[in-house]
């Protein structure tokens, strides 16, 4: 059989046929245990940054001055995601979000056989982060701040939560697929672009839905906090939006050519 040459970020078989390259150029074959561990660790870093800052703000805990304000959460989330992508992208692809994993799997850019391990690792990392937040800030973190679990703003219906979560997750996943799989995009900008996309998503949806943008980040803290308000919306909307974002980029936007 004639060997084929594929882009190292295309998600296809390499010329040797023994490895598959996915987000950020990582190779999954014979590396599943490390990849799953990286997904758990990366999601832990991401969710810990968001929940700990959200809890500190809710409890009005001063940090070298006045307590955190509303903008501290998107800043923390964006920086944490950029750090996690830069640290773990070459190991697991740094999905760190079931919406990314399932969006890629449904669109045949990630093996279904590996998707359950990734999703379980992401939820495990999120739950562990919520537990650490609880331990760091004490029982008030759970009883008052709900461990940073997402919750709709007062008067916001489940339909508006669905809309907000779908829109911002679509934006985030579209950015992820664009900068982490397309060989026309310089690799050096991927981590910061993805982190910035999450920060913008949190700024947009925070006042409406509490900014889940990630089923693991939203539902993981809910499990330990015992608060499940509209949990299904924080699950369904990001997953649907992730599917659409990956399909749009693969079937329409990726077909373009690099300008001269």
- The backbone torsions φ and ψ at residue 192, rounded to the nearest 5 degrees and listed phi first, read -70, -35
- Please report the DSSP string for 135-186 in residue order: HHH-HHHHHTTGGG---PPTT--HHHHHHHHHHHHHHHHHHHHHHHH-TTS-
Give pLDDT, residue 119: 98
Alpha helices in the chain (DSSP H): 32-58, 72-92, 98-106, 115-137, 139-143, 158-181, 190-209, 215-225, 231-251
Whether domain 32-253 has CATH 1.20.1080.10: yes
pTM of the complete model beyond 0.85: yes
Give pLDDT, residue 188: 79
pLDDT in tens, 85-107: 999 999 999 999 999 999 999 99
d(CA 111, CA 105): 6
pLDDT in tens, 214-259: 999 999 999 999 999 999 999 999 999 999 999 999 888 876 555 4
Give pLDDT, residue 91: 92
Contact 190, 177 (CB under 8 A): no
Give pLDDT, residue 165: 98
Give pLDDT, residue 24: 84
Positions of the chain with pLDDT lower than 50, given as ranges:
1-12, 14-21, 259-260
SS3 21: strand
Give pLDDT, residue 215: 98
């Amino acid at each position: 059989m004639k060997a084929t040459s594929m882009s190292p970020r295309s998600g296809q078989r390499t010329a040797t046929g023994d490895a598959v390259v996915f987000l950020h150029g990582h190779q999954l074959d014979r590396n599943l245990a490390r990849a799953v561990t990286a997904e758990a660790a990366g999601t832990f870093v991401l969710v810990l940054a968001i929940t700990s800052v959200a809890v500190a703000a809710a409890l009005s805990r001063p940090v070298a001055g006045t307590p955190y304000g509303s903008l501290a959460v998107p800043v923390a989330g964006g920086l944490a995601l950029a750090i996690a992508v830069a640290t773990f992208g070459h190991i697991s692809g740094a999905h760190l979000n079931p919406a990314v994993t399932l969006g890629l799997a449904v669109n045949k850019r990630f093996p279904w056989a590996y998707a359950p391990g990734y999703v379980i690792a992401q939820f495990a990392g999120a739950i562990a982060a919520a537990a650490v937040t609880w331990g760091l800030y004490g029982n008030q973190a759970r009883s008052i701040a709900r461990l940073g679990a997402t919750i709709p703003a007062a008067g916001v219906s489940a339909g508006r939560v669905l809309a907000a979560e779908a829109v911002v997750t679509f934006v985030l996943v579209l950015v992820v697929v664009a900068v982490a799989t397309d060989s026309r995009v310089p690799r050096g900008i991927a981590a910061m672009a993805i982190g910035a996309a999450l920060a913008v998503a949190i700024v947009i949806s925070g006042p409406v839905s509490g900014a889940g943008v990630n089923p693991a980040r939203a539902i993981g803290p809910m499990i330990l906090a015992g608060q499940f308000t509209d949990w299904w919306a924080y699950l369904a909307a990001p997953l649907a939006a992730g599917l659409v974002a990956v399909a749009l980029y693969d079937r329409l936007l990726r077909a373009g050519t690099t300008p001269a």
